[in-house]
């Protein structure tokens, strides 16, 4: 493999140029943005995969979905097959005046390449293409079979992914999958995400009157739906922010490996305050050593929007109704349907004064936990070699809709590989990719091909 590693080192510039070319395409998948750039970026990705040595490159379409790009190299009969995933669509640019250089005009500054999609997730596309190219150019072959799938609608929640995977199950069949679209714990620290929280969310509408009324004439005996909903919301958590809904757990038991990797990571209140923009006197609702545990392995509740009258229409009234949208981040072991039921039963029980309570707009997606598999261990060894630092196993408080469908439909172990670092500002203005990490990630993936080929066969997930 050394030859492939050397080749990647000598051709670093090519990876940066590939990434720049992809960034120039404004492939925003959000509604209201032009759709043509998504076709163009799919074509550009297909051309890139082809020029880097992949075969059977094709743009795959499913009705109503933005285009997927597929390519493979399948010349190692008897060796395992690895499916590599990334996505070519991007978030909207956000507030353009805040960008130091235009979002779709890639610019290199202080070892980082700036531009929308640089880390999320065109960096992932380039890591896959470059690692494959290094092997094919330097060795004339890959040590195992590889398939590449680049999605076009990850940023809008992969609405067609499960249907797409089902329709293409034979073509995409693999022994393991590497999804390059999560973040590393820190710059230069290769990280494998092994736990994701799920999300159960819904609207709550509380009504007490047929119409809003004068708060002087009727206030007192007339129940205020805003107060009623506020009491209901307040009953979901205790004073320290822990979940206080009967039937819902406050956290989950960690495996020995998870406990071990938590111990290896240092993350304190100061880092949390800085990274998430706390005001000076705002308290952190976790003890210093317990922040990551709370972020990754405990459920969390938030109210995402609240409405009753409006600033513009503010008057001396008792409102007829109050509305909110709330979300519960769940952890492994919490069934989404049962969580939803427990939440809604609790809120109804806590609704005072005979107000009417209605639920609507429900979403429910499960938490995810990586299987323990020799593949995950091999990936950790490979990324450690690639970055020259031990790989970290981390959780992620967020919910990634594509992780579940992949392991469910394709039935093979999934490795979530980090692309950007915490300073990449994905989804925000001035997104960037650390170029040192891009280089290391490419090396890590070359080593991964090697490690997996040497594993031979392993049990399916
Ligand atoms: Zn992404």
Q: What is the DSSP string of 254-288?
A: PPHHHHHHHHH----HHHHHHHHT--TTPPPSS-G
Average pLDDT value for the chain: 95
Of 36-45, 53-62, 296-305, 405-414, the one with minimum mean pLDDT is: 405-414
Say how many Å lie between the CA of residue 160 and the centre of ligand 1: 16
Say how many Å lie between the CA of residue 432 and the centre of ligand 1: 13
Say how many Å lie between the CA of residue 29 and the centre of ligand 1: 12
Say how many Å lie between the CA of residue 369 and the centre of ligand 1: 19
Residue predicted with more confidence, 119 or 256: 119
Say how many Å lie between the CA of residue 412 and the centre of ligand 1: 21
For domain 2-195+368-455, give the CATH superfamily: Zn peptidases (3.40.630.10)
Q: What angle do CA 132, 137, 142 make, to 5 degrees?
A: 45
Say how many Å lie between the CA of residue 194 and the centre of ligand 1: 16
Q: Which residues contact 287 (CB under 8 A, 6 or more apart)?
A: none
Of 280-289, 385-394, 400-409, the one with minimum mean pLDDT is: 400-409
**Residue range 322-351: average pLDDT?**
97
459 pLDDT higher than 80: no
461 — pLDDT class (breaks 50, 70, 90):
low
**Residue range 141-150: average pLDDT?**
98
Domain with CATH 3.30.70.360 in the chain: 198-252+298-365
| pLDDT value at residue 404 | 80
| pLDDT value at residue 157 | 86
Contact 401, 202 (CB under 8 A): no
Say how many Å lie between the CA of residue 317 and the centre of ligand 1: 45
Say how many Å lie between the CA of residue 400 and the centre of ligand 1: 9
Say how many Å lie between the CA of residue 152 and the centre of ligand 1: 10
400 pLDDT higher than 90: no
Q: CA-to-CA distance for 449 and 176, rounded, in angstroms? A: 11
Percent over 90 (pLDDT), the chain: 88
| pLDDT value at residue 288 | 83
Of 229-233, 268-272, 402-406, the one with minimum mean pLDDT is: 402-406
Percent over 70 (pLDDT), the chain: 99
| pLDDT value at residue 254 | 92
Say how many Å lie between the CA of residue 40 and the centre of ligand 1: 19
CATH code that applies to domain 198-252+298-365: 3.30.70.360
Domain with CATH 3.40.630.10 in the chain: 2-195+368-455
Q: Which residues contact 159 (CB under 8 A, 6 or more apart)?
A: 65, 153
**Residue range 422-451: average pLDDT?**
96
Q: CA-to-CA distance for 291 and 189, rounded, in angstroms? A: 19
Contact 196, 400 (CB under 8 A): yes
Of 6-15, 138-147, 407-416, the one with minimum mean pLDDT is: 407-416
Neighbours of 311 (CB within 10 A): 5
199 pLDDT higher than 90: yes
398 pLDDT higher than 90: no
**Residue range 394-422: average pLDDT?**
88
């Amino acid at each position: 493999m050394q030859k492939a590693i050397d080749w990647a080192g000598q051709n670093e510039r090519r990876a940066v140029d590939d990434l720049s070319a992809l960034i120039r395409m404004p492939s925003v998948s959000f509604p209201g943005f032009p759709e043509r750039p998504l076709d163009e970026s799919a074509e550009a990705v297909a051309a890139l995969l082809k020029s880097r040595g992949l075969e059977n490159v094709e743009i795959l379409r499913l009705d109503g979905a933005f285009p997927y790009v597929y390519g493979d190299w399948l010349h190692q009969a008897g060796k395992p097959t690895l499916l590599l995933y990334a996505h070519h669509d991007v978030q909207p640019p956000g507030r353009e005046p805040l960008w130091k250089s235009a979002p779709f005009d890639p610019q290199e500054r202080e070892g980082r390449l700036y531009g929308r999609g640089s880390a999320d997730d065109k960096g992932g596309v380039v890591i896959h293409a470059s690692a494959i190219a290094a092997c094919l150019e330097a060795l004339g072959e890959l040590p195992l079979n590889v398939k590449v799938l680049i999605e076009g609608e990850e940023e809008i929640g992969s609405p067609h992914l499960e249907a797409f995977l089902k329709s293409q199950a034979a073509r995409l069949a693999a022994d393991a999958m590497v999804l390059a679209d999560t973040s590393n714990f820190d710059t230069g620290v290769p990280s494998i995400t092994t736990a994701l929280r799920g999300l159960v969310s819904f609207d709550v509408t509380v009504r007490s009157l047929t119409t809003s009324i004068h708060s002087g004439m009727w206030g007192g005996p007339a129940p205020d739906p805003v107060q009623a909903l506020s009491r209901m919301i307040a009953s979901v958590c205790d004073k320290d922010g822990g979940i206080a809904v009967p039937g819902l757990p406050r956290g989950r038991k960690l495996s020995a490996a998870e406990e071990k990797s938590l111990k290896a990571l240092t993350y304190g209140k100061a880092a949390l305050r800085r990274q998430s923009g706390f005001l000076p006197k705002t308290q952190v609702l976790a003890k210093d050593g317990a922040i990551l545990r709370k972020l990754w392995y405990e459920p969390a509740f938030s109210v995402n929007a609240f409405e009753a009258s409006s600033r513009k229409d503010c008057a001396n009234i008792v409102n007829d109704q109050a509305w909110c949208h709330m979300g519960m981040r769940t952890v492994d072991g919490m069934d989404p349907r049962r969580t939803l039921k427990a939440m809604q039963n609790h809120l109804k029980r806590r609704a005072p004064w005979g107000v009417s309570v209605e639920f609507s707009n429900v979403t429910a997606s499960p938490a995810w936990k990586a299987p323990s598999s020799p593949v995950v261990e091999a990936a950790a060894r490979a990324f450690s070699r690639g970055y020259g630092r031990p790989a970290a196993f981390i959780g992620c408080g967020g919910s990634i809709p594509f992780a579940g469908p992949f392991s469910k439909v394709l039935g093979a172990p999934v490795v979530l590989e980090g692309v950007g670092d915490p300073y990449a500002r994905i989804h925000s203005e001035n997104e960037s990719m650390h170029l040192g990490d891009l280089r290391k990630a490419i090396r890590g993936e070359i080593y991964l091909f090697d490690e997996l080929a040497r594993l031979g066969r392993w049990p399916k997930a």
